[in-house]
Structure 1
Amino acid sequence: MIHTSALTKHFVTRRRAVEAVRGVDLHVEAGEMVALLGPNGAGKSTTLRMLTTLLAPTSGSAVVAGFDVRTRPREVRARIGYVGQGNGAGRTQRGRDELLSQGRAYGMSGAAARARADELVSSLDLEGVADQVTSSLSGGQRRRLDIAMGLMHAPELLFLDEPSTGLDPQNRANLQEHIRRLREEHGTTVVMTTHYLDEADQMAERVVVIDHGSVIADASPEQLKAEHAGDRITLSFDRAEEAAAALPRLLGLAAGARGERIGECVVLEADGGSRSAAKLLRVLDEEGVQPVGVEIARPTLDDVFLNLTGRSLRDAAAAPTAEQETVA
């Protein structure tokens, strides 16, 4: 469904040249759901804009839905749906009218557009609000309407650029369920960007991590966590001195583990947290060392990003960067 080779995008501003995307190689099979993770300015949205023909690549190649984005952009656009970060519907229009206009823009007959609009209104739980002015809709309802607009022409491939941004937890969960249902019912390939790590973990079969315009990891969430982050074991002691004395012994017992002392606690990162913790506690008990508490936490995708880049995705996502300035 998507194949890119050394895809690159450079911008030149009055202040400097910006390498927004640096040789991205990406392969997405039909029916997959792939999440792109990375901080603001990593190149995610620029990559999506090139794949959707909204930006011309500086170099490299991209074939989307069987067509080259440079030489066959009309054929690409006919086969994809794109939901950007902003709302796509006009504020003074009714939701159903926006769907009909979208369908007609894609060459659908009036009857076919009405039938498709009815189908999407039903599947995305918009029956009670589809005939209201869009400015009166809630954030979750507007995002569902945006997705309906992107699906109006039944695309083979749907791009979602941070679809849940700005939604409360309940609306986020509802929207995620709608996307899952649409995939099950229509087999649509979905590529999404997100800053919500739990969203990527729960929904995507593959996660592609992009940083500084390049792909630095590409695997399933579980593979990434297994390869780039271990379980976190926290052992608590009565005094900081006990924790400091225990740290080198614990690192010696847990081969390959990383660890540090934080106050009265020793925090280790090791594979097989439950098994490792049991071994550590048994040996410490034999040696007369008694932790007062132990906690085991499974790694998250943020741990993966931290280990890959040396920073937290949550923290890195907060600051405006060169890509945002350039696009603006």
Structure 2
Amino acid sequence: MVAGNSVIFKPSEYTSLVGKELAKLVWQAGIPKDVFQIIYGGSRIGAMLIDQPIDMVTFTGSSAVGKEIANKCAAKLIKFSLEMGGSTPAIVCRDADLELAAGLIVKSRFENCGQVCNAVKRVFVERAVASKLTNLIVKKTKALKVGNPMDPATDVGPLVSAKQLAAFENQITRGVVQGGRILTGGRRIREGKFMAGNFHQPTVMIHVQPRIDIMSEETFGPVLPICDVDNLDQAIHYANLSPYGLTSAGFTKSKASAERIANEVVAGGCYINKDVAFYPGSPWTGLKESGFGTAGGKHGLWEFTHKRHLHFEQV
């Protein structure tokens, strides 16, 4: 809308009420209802919307669905911007502030029950400090409170659906079968008030090899796999094995190591000794299977425009 466009907004079918409240705020701000419209439904409605005479599609969701949208838009020769899956690696060097690293990694991984595209989903730690970092992460993970997401005291709420919980449990099972060892968590919570919900214990897994499924797939749930590495070269190599390239994180006191992580890990953004977060004024770009196009800042605004050359002479 800031770029001068009318918008049809389709929220996820799992977050329709959030979309409804957002629409109310937009209309209360004075935006006409024909400039900002909202429709509800699942994938069938989304596919029908793309078939309409629209000028652009912007999508946030899975890489599989994003590729389908890209194909449809390409066939119509209309613009599209895709913000898809992510599997952020966190590289922890031997000179890192381990207390800082553990705190930020746990916060990133388990926020919103691990259902955040840019959350840290893989940890590569130099072997010299692996034990100490792992102990700190386990301690902080055990301290997390699972409960009602509407309670400000809650750290970890439920997964979005029973279907997502089942898929997540399958990823945990495969991780163990493929050699991972669970240090804390690892199971669905069914007792008492949690019986009817999609709750799962925050989970930390070690002895994880860099090519197993839980490291190569996107995990939308509360699990943190940790892989020990010999050195920074190996950490960067393992980080780049993922098909995703949304964001990356590094923890080190060395400027040279920080620059290597920022320049050599293939990702649209890099955060050194900092929480992985979205800054509205900065470009947000996914590489590899994480996206196409840019959100955020002036670069994101340009996505919703057509660049033209206008030449007036003697008018």
TM over 0.5: no
Tell me the TM-score range normalised by the shorter chain: under 0.3
Q: Which has the higher helix share?
A: 1
Calculate the TM-score normalised by the size of structure 1. 0.27
Calculate the TM-score normalised by the size of structure 2. 0.28
Q: Which has the higher strand share?
A: 1
User: Which is greater in Rg?
Assistant: 1
